[in-house]
Amino acid sequence: MPMIRIEMFEGRTVEQKRACAKAVTQAFIETCGGTPESVSVIFTDVAKQDWANAGRLYSDPKE
């Protein structure tokens, strides 16, 4: 049973997540096989102050 985890900045709507889950599930089935019932998708919404890249929080003002 594949588990697909998607971490992204918070702010997406339920409709966007629903569409994403459907598209990701379909892409997985097309490339790796299986059934929609076998694929789980977990969304983790992350606040910009909780995510950093290159030592800089995404919530920090751009320099």
Instruction: Count up the domains in the chain and report the number.
Output: 1
| Domain extent for 7 | 3-57
Question: Quick check: is 34 in a domain?
Answer: yes
Question: Quick check: is 41 in a domain?
Answer: yes
Percentages (nearest 5) of helix, strand, coil residues in the chain: 40, 30, 30
The CATH number that applies at residue 28 is: 3.30.429.10
Question: Quick check: is 62 in a domain?
Answer: no
Question: Quick check: is 24 in a domain?
Answer: yes
pLDDT at res. 34: 96
pLDDT at res. 45: 98
Question: Quick check: is 32 in a domain?
Answer: yes
Flag whether pLDDT at 58 surpasses 90.
Answer: yes
Q: In the structure, what pLDDT confidence band is assigned to residue 63 with cuts at 50, 70 and 90? A: confident
**pLDDT digits 0-9 by tens, 5-46:** 999 999 999 999 999 999 999 999 999 999 999 999 999 999
Active site residue 2: yes
Long-range contacts of 53-57 (CB under 8 A, 24+ apart): none
The pTM for the full model equals 0.88
| Catalytic entry in 1, 2, 10, 14 | 2
